[in-house]
Amino acid sequence: MSKPFGVSSDHHFHSFTAFATVNDKGVNSRLQATLDAMREHAAAVKAAGGNKLFLAGDTFHKRGEVAPSVLNPVMDLFRELVAEGFEIYVIPGNHDLERNESMRVGNAVTALEALGVKVAHEPMVVDLSDDHKVVLFPWYATTKDLIEAMMSWRDELTFDEREFDQEPWLDAVIHAPIDGVLPHLPEHGLTHEGLSGTGFNRVFCGHYHHHRHMGDEVYSVGALTHQTWGDVNSKAGYLIVTDDQVKHYETTAPKFMDVDNVEDEEGLLEVNGNFVRVKIEVATESELETIRLGLLGYGAAGVVIHAMKKTVMTRATTPAPSGGHSIENSIKEFVTKRSLPAAAHALCVDILKEAQAA
Ligand SMILES: [Mn+2]
């Protein structure tokens, strides 16, 4: 029997510009919302009777350069959490890397080691109890390397334990693209069946920003919070894990959401506290303002209206696919056609997200 523990991922601590202000401590409000969400996560683990937090990669957002006004508030938060008795384990994700390969001096999360946070530059084994271990794996350049590392560690850990009656319960924390978490992204050959086949009892995986149980006790952790319009409809939050249960919880951080119908009063209740985007045909500036004020009245934390002029011309061509995924689909086709590696695809998606976040 182990104590409950927490898993969260893809915090992407960063001073995002969209909807941002600067608070009286000089901290970007979007960064502050993510810091607050991390606090909520820690408080929930404590309330459940645990003190271990596992971070599944992409703690920081900007590859190779973390601003002082991001690093210092993040260091302050983790310093407080360690002082409160939390044991924190972090794997470097692709966003934490300055170079293509994960290495101690090139990983932004290495700074957290000074606070007592443990960073898994190499696979790291954490004992939860006599027969329950959590193994953390850093980012690997290929999914094949990851699977091989997981299998060899699994063999080693169970071999050591053969003198005992029972094989240990093994959980893994990784950062990698699992096929099918986000259906509009290309497949890289890393399946939940393949991960389950490594012999780990449960796998908690960061990278794609959507929480989902993929089957076979393989979980996409999902990001702690929404970060860009690319996250509309994705499930963000953190996990509380017990011996027999994995539960996902949302935080109070703002979500990015599309509102399709500004007349639907019940639907509008959802906008409270969130960043809202409306695409609408309007005739006048005052109509726009009415909609904007209406959404703010329902508690929206920010409003973007994409006004399209009413048009009398009929389209000669098929309209482009609507929604936030058409560019993602184009990237997916491009990457799939050229059989590019997961790392190249991750970079394309990062660049798109960066553009969407501005
Ligand atoms: Mn990420």
Per-residue pLDDT tens digits for 260-284: 988 888 889 999 999 999 988 877 8
Q: Which CATH class is domain 5-249?
A: alpha beta
Per-residue pLDDT tens digits for 147-158: 999 999 999 988
What is the 98 CA–ligand 1 centroid distance (Å)?
Answer: 15
What is the 208 CA–ligand 1 centroid distance (Å)?
Answer: 6
- Name the residue with higher pLDDT: 99 or 241: 241
Q: Is 172 exposed, middle or buried (0-12, 13-18, 19+ CB in 10 A)?
A: buried
Predicted confidence (pLDDT) at residue 164 exceeds the cutoff of 90: no
What is the 1 CA–ligand 1 centroid distance (Å)?
Answer: 32
Taken as a whole, the chain contains a residue count of: 358
Q: Name the DSSP letter for residue 94.
A: G
Q: Which of 128-132, 161-165, 200-204 has the highest mean pLDDT?
A: 200-204
Question: How sure is the predictor about 330, in pLDDT bands with cuts at 50, 70 and 90?
Answer: confident
Average pLDDT over residues 188-192: 94
pTM, entire model = 0.87
C-alpha span between 202 and 218 (Å, rounded): 6
What is the 122 CA–ligand 1 centroid distance (Å)?
Answer: 20
What is the 169 CA–ligand 1 centroid distance (Å)?
Answer: 28
What is the predicted pLDDT for the residue at 311?
58
C-alpha span between 9 and 225 (Å, rounded): 9
- DSSP three-state, residue 148: helix
- DSSP three-state, residue 205: strand
What sign does the dihedral 333-335-338-339 (CA atoms) show? negative
Question: How sure is the predictor about 192, in pLDDT bands with cuts at 50, 70 and 90?
Answer: very high
What is the predicted pLDDT for the residue at 197?
96
What is the 21 CA–ligand 1 centroid distance (Å)?
Answer: 23
